[in-house]
Amino acid sequence: MIDLDSPVVAVLGDHKKKREAIEEKLGLRTVGDLLHHFPRRYVKTGELTRIDELHEGDVLTVVGQIASSNLATYKDRRTGRPAYRVDVTVRTDGPSFRISMFAKNEKVGRWQQQQRMPVGRRGIFLGKVSSFRGEWQLTHPQVVLFGTPDEDAAQLSLDAIGEFYPIYPLTKGVDSWDLQRAVAFALTVLEDVPDVVPEAVRRQYDLLDVRTALERVHNPHDQGEISSAQRRFRFEEALVTQLVLAKRRRVLREQGARARTGDQGGLLAAFDERLPFELTDGQREIGARLEEDLAQPHPMNRLLQGEVGSGKTVVALRAMLRVVDSGGQAALLAPTEVLAQQHHRSITALLGDLATGGMLGGAADATNVELLTGSMTKAQRTGPMSRIATGEAGIVIGTHALLEEKVIFADLGLVVVDEQHRFGVEQRAALTDKAGTPPHVLVMTATPIPRTVAMTVFGDLETSTLTELPAGRAPIQTNVVALAERPTWFGRVWERVREEVGKGHQAYVVCPRITGDEQEQGESDQLDLDEDGDVMPAASPAGGLAAVEEVAVQLAEGPLAGLRVEKLHGRMPPDEKDRVMRAFAAGEIDVLVSTTVIEVGVDVANATAMVLLDAERFGVSQLHQLRGRVGRGGLPGLCLLVSHAEPGSPARDRLDAVAATTDGFELSRVDLEQRREGDVLGKSQSGYRSGLQNLRVLRDEKTILQAREAANALLDADPRLRQAPDLAAEVARLEESVQSGFMEKS
Ligand code: ADP
Ligand code: MG
């Protein structure tokens, strides 16, 4: 008898290599795994031969045979280095098509030519049509080769294609055809398929049963069948995820938190009195809201979002002071050493003698503000750690170092996480675990996230948003400097920087790398395989990316000669980093050449210009963050995005989008739309990535909300899910994998 737990070999042929690829590389070990490996897309077979009336830009599916396949080498115009390309001709019943695939090196090119595109093979080719020198081309096509070069067999597989041909996510050595055959066989022999989604839930939300859904997702007859099957599986996934979250919420709530009502001190009041500016209305309102949350006997779990420069830190600081006024401690977790140091400096400055607790002549309600970072020596940590342990330190600022086990708090009441996108759920958990009772948590971000993401990734964060900028914020003008079209503009960039410095202002120059010879992450010799198993062309020709060490020298000796140019990057000793930041803040440096270490939070009002080199290398939210470093002191900011990206390329579209708006919400949509959900959750950020296979947080918002409602209703009626054992098992499985993911990391 074959069921979902049977090993996948039960339904596979005896081709050993393929079996191994399916088991090892695709990770499909059971029949259930195989059946839940859904098609990535479907090809309508009606389109397979529609090649008589071609237009440039059509997306086309053709069946054909590889008539020639050659590895060509040429010189990359930008880097001057040799580059590789595989040129393939595909013969069809109609016209022939040319396909070019780019390769980063000869080895990859050779592999593509011989393994990926061997002469004689037949297959389905799906891509966008263009014409080049009178020939039709398919650009970056998706390729499904039939199982064998043998003509008869290929015809057989063509005959077996239904109205919609499923295209599966593949890996090297496995063809879509192999999977399709195995799935079809599995579906005919499979006896009993337990349904994870309880019948009552299926009825309420009008969902297919699992058996029908499996049949339809793998072998659909029309679009409607595909949609209804997909909806069911997405719902299932959302339901399991939401159950994990809802259970966790219930546990947290049951544990309770200490209410922090601020009735034991006057630190916050004293601070408000000395604040050098008026709080904005938004800061005031959110402040009141936080005070309410903190006074609850269960943990606050709130996301504070607001544009770069909207004044989130002050809001957080006031909440921290409130907790100190309640006899507790507050920790501020920063993603980088530079940012932790800066927070420490600015918070200490804002507090003045309110931060001199225990010192002779300190203010009556004063507390201590401690800094704890990874680069501090053991001896340097001793003092802060003991003051954290005794509770003398009311406010503790630090990086990951705060998460270490040795760091013990007397009474941690509030954890503030700055710039959430760098911190994972797991790290937050590590810090919140340090409190005897669960602490209140406030997460700050300048990259707003849609509600569903907040819910899915962060459990159930409530959100507050600062919408206005404090007075004195000037607009930032952003321009794309497109070197692909206008190489001469590069000179103009440095003239503009000189002009800004001439006016007494300062500038940042940001590079994607530290040194020129470094092997960048993801730039290794490995093949870039996308999820369909196709080799992707490199985003930009390899090599030649701007690097801090080189650019700093080149600028100082060349176009910016005579200006005070210094560098900053993560590999410099911490003291040196701190010195450079201080010198820049004090106006003793004109131009700071740096990596993205300045991305978050760095605050130097006199800096008005930012030049981003190889800007296409940065993500949308990263660009937005970086640009927020200028235009802070009432002086208009200028941001130049220097890039070789070709017009019309996705990279260039991204840069244009960033240049077109400074609205973070708008940009976060642009960003999300360009990504798959797995990326949205981020490798470091997602505790649940194993559960998010089919869901897209934006597209499936409604499904996620329904699933959440269903999850709550199920738990209300049956907290241990006794009535739904299959579902309970699935939930336990996800909980376990989240837990083990967390263990691996910590
Ligand atoms: P972000 O939201 O990007 O973290 P910050 O909290 O760093 O912004 O604030 C940016 C700057 O604005 C800081 O120098 C801060 O002291 C200042 N600031 C904050 N609130 C106000 C306000 N209401 N009026 C004037 N300046 C403010
Ligand atoms: Mg900030």
- pLDDT tens column, 348-381: 999 998 988 766 555 667 899 999 998 888 999 9
Q: How far apart are CA 625 and CA 638, in angstroms?
A: 14
Are 435 and 413 in contact by the 8 Å Cβ rule? The answer is yes
DSSP state, residue 696 = -
Among 418, 397, 457, residue whose Cα is nearest residue 315: 418
The helix-helix angle for 223-255 and 210-218 (nearest 10°) equals: 130
Summarised one tens digit per residue, pLDDT across range 256-309 is 889 999 888 899 999 999 998 999 999 999 999 999 999 999 888 888 888 777
Q: What is the mean pLDDT of the chain?
A: 80
Q: How far apart are CA 64 and CA 695, in angstroms?
A: 34
Compute, in angstroms, the gap from residue 603 CA to the centroid of ligand 1: 9
Which structure tokens are listed for 343? 């927070």
Opening angle at CA 120, ends 117 and 121, nearest 5: 55
Which structure tokens are listed for 107? 């080895």
Compute, in angstroms, the gap from residue 590 CA to the centroid of ligand 2: 23
Residue type present at position 696: R
459-485: b or e for each residue (b if 16 or more CB lie within 10 Å)? bebebbebeebbeebeebebebbbbee
Q: With bands split at pLDDT 50, 70 and 90, how would you rate the model's confidence at 93?
A: confident
Q: Name, in order, each residue with C-beta under 8 angstroms of 699's C-beta and a sequence gap of 6 or more.
A: none
Summarised one tens digit per residue, pLDDT across range 636-662 is 899 999 999 888 787 888 899 889 887
Residue type present at position 32: G
What's the rounded mean pLDDT across residues 599-624? 84
Residue 727, classed as helix, strand or coil, is helix
Are 615 and 644 in contact by the 8 Å Cβ rule? The answer is no
CA distance readout (Å), 86 to 59, 141, 349, 524: 21, 13, 61, 20
Q: How far apart are CA 520 and CA 725, in angstroms?
A: 47
> Per mean pLDDT, which of 144-158, 185-199, 581-595 is the most reliable?
581-595
Q: What is the dihedral of CA 514, 515, 520, 524, to 10 degrees?
A: -170
Higher pLDDT, 595 or 131: 595
Give the torsion sign (CA, 487, 488, 490, 493): negative
Summarised one tens digit per residue, pLDDT across range 124-139 is 777 778 887 878 888 7
Tell whether the model's pLDDT for residue 243 goes beyond 70: yes
DSSP state, residue 459 = S
Which of 245-249, 367-371, 597-601, 728-732 has the lowest average pLDDT? 597-601
Q: Which ligand is nearest to the CA of 600?
A: 2
Compute, in angstroms, the gap from residue 273 CA to the centroid of ligand 1: 17
Tell whether the model's pLDDT for residue 211 goes beyond 90: yes
Mutate to test the pocket of ligand 1, among 277, 348, 418, 467 (most ligand atoms within 8 A of CB): 277
What pLDDT score was predicted for residue 148?
54
Tell whether the model's pLDDT for residue 160 goes beyond 80: no
Mutate to test the pocket of ligand 1, among 603, 624, 630 (most ligand atoms within 8 A of CB): 603
Residues above pLDDT 90, as percent of the chain: 33
What's the rounded mean pLDDT across residues 95-100? 86
Summarised one tens digit per residue, pLDDT across range 492-540 is 999 999 999 999 999 999 999 998 765 443 322 222 223 222 222 333 3
Number of H helices and E strands in the chain, helices first, is 24, 20
Are 146 and 175 in contact by the 8 Å Cβ rule? The answer is yes
Tell whether the model's pLDDT for residue 457 goes beyond 60: no
C-alpha count within 13 angstroms, C-beta hemisphere, residue 136: 23
Compute, in angstroms, the gap from residue 305 CA to the centroid of ligand 1: 13
Compute, in angstroms, the gap from residue 445 CA to the centroid of ligand 2: 8
Compute, in angstroms, the gap from residue 27 CA to the centroid of ligand 1: 49
What's the rounded mean pLDDT across residues 551-558? 94
Q: How far apart are CA 73 and CA 85, in angstroms?
A: 6
Mutate to test the pocket of ligand 1, among 285, 313, 442, 662 (most ligand atoms within 8 A of CB): 313
Are 263 and 325 in contact by the 8 Å Cβ rule? The answer is yes
What pLDDT score was predicted for residue 606?
92
Higher pLDDT, 227 or 665: 227
What pLDDT score was predicted for residue 518?
54
Q: How far apart are CA 294 and CA 439, in angstroms?
A: 10
What pLDDT score was predicted for residue 12?
83
Residue type present at position 699: R
Tell whether the model's pLDDT for residue 1 goes beyond 70: yes
For the CA of 278, the closest atom of ligand 1 is 23
Opening angle at CA 700, ends 695 and 703, nearest 5: 100
For the CA of 307, the closest atom of ligand 1 is 2
SS3 assignment for 107-151: HHHHHHHHHHCCCCCEEEEEEEEEEECCEEEEEEEEEEECCCCCH
Q: Name, in order, each residue with C-beta under 8 angstroms of 454's C-beta and a sequence gap of 6 or more.
A: 303, 461, 463
What pLDDT score was predicted for residue 421?
54
What pLDDT score was predicted for residue 207?
97
Compute, in angstroms, the gap from residue 327 CA to the centroid of ligand 1: 27
Residues above pLDDT 70, as percent of the chain: 79
Which protein residues are within 6 Å of ligand 1, measured from CB? 277-280, 283, 306, 308-314, 446, 470, 601, 603
